[in-house]
Structure 1
Amino acid sequence: MHETASTPPHAHAPAPAPVDVDVDTLDRLPGWQPGELLRETDKTVTISGRWHGRDVVAKQLTSSERHWVKRFTHEVIAYRAFAATPPPWPVPRLHHAGRRVLIIERLPGASPHTDRYPPLLAEHTVTGMIDALTGFAAWRPPPGPLSTPATDWPARIRRYAAAGDLPDDIQQPLLEAVASAPLVFGHGDPLASNALASAGHPLIFIDYEFAGMYPPDADLALLGVWLGRHDPHAEQRCAQLAEADGSLHRYRAMRVLWLAREQRLYQSLFDMVDDREHRQWLDDQSANAITALRRLTGRS
Structure 2
Amino acid sequence: MLGAGRTRRVPGLGTQPLSGRLDLSGPQGAQLRTAIASVHRICPEFAPVQVLRRSGRSVLLVGTTGRSTAVAKCLLDHSPIWSERIRHEIAAYRSFVRHRPPVRVPRLIAADPDNCTLVIERMPGRVAALQRHPAEAPPRADIRAALGAICRLNAWRPPAGTFDAPLDYAERISRFHELGLLTDRDMGDLQKLVHGIAHSAGRQGMGQFCHGDALLSNILLSPAGPVLVDWEHAGWYLPGYDLATLWAVLGDAPVARRQISQLAQSAGPAARDAFLVNLMLVLTREIRTYETAVQRSMHDSTPAAPGPAHPGAAPSGEEQRLLLRRLHDDCQMARRAVRAAVGTR
Does the CA contact (< 8 Å) of 2:106 and 2:227 recur in 1?
no
Q: Secondary structure of the residue that 1:272 maps to in structure 2?
A: helix
* 1:155 shift after superposition: 1.2
Residue among 173, 182, 192 paired with 1:166? 182
Does the CA contact (< 8 Å) of 1:111 and 1:196 recur in 2?
yes
Does the CA contact (< 8 Å) of 1:4 and 1:107 recur in 2?
no
Root-mean-square deviation over aligned CA pairs = 2.3
Corresponding position: 1:117 with 2:133: yes
The percentage of aligned residue pairs carrying the same residue is 32
Q: What pairs with 1:174-193 in structure 2 (closer than 5 Å)?
A: 174-178=190-194, 180=198, 182-193=206-217
Q: Which residue of 1 aligns with 2:151?
A: 134
1:245/1:4 CA distance change after superposition, 3 Å:
farther
Does the CA contact (< 8 Å) of 1:81 and 1:141 recur in 2?
no
Q: Which residue of 1 aligns with 2:303?
A: none
Query: What is the distance in 1 between the residues matched to 2:34 and 2:151?
Result: 36
Q: Secondary structure of the residue that 1:33 maps to in structure 2?
A: strand
* Stretches of structure 1 lacking an aligned partner (at least 5 in a row): 6-22
* 1:144 shift after superposition: 4.0
Does the CA contact (< 8 Å) of 2:126 and 2:221 recur in 1?
yes
- Which shifted more, 132-141 or 67-76? 132-141
* 1:145 shift after superposition: 6.2
Q: What pairs with 1:75-154 in structure 2 (closer than 5 Å)?
A: 75-98=89-112, 99-118=115-134, 119-144=136-161, 146=163, 148-154=164-170
Q: Which residue of 2 aligns with 1:207?
A: 230
Q: Which residue of 1 aligns with 2:24?
A: none
* 1:140 shift after superposition: 2.4
* 1:290 shift after superposition: 0.4
When the two structures are superposed, what TM-score results if normalisation uses the length of structure 1? 0.86
Q: Secondary structure of the residue that 2:70 maps to in structure 1?
A: strand
1:120/1:142 CA distance change after superposition, 3 Å:
same
CA-to-partner distance for each residue in 1:68-92, whole Å, 9 max, x for gaps? 2211111001001111222222222
Does the CA contact (< 8 Å) of 2:103 and 2:226 recur in 1?
no
* 1:143 shift after superposition: 4.4
Higher relative contact order (CA 8 A, sep 6+): 2
Query: What is the distance in 2 between the residues matched to 1:176 and 1:186?
Result: 23
Q: What pairs with 1:1-300 in structure 2 (closer than 5 Å)?
A: 1-3=13-15, 25-27=35-37, 29=40, 30-98=44-112, 99-118=115-134, 119-144=136-161, 146=163, 148-178=164-194, 180=198, 182-198=206-222, 200-228=223-251, 230-246=252-268, 247-273=271-297, 274=317, 275-298=320-343
Partner amino acid for 1:91? Answer: V
Query: What is the distance in 2 between the residues matched to 1:151 and 1:27?
Result: 34
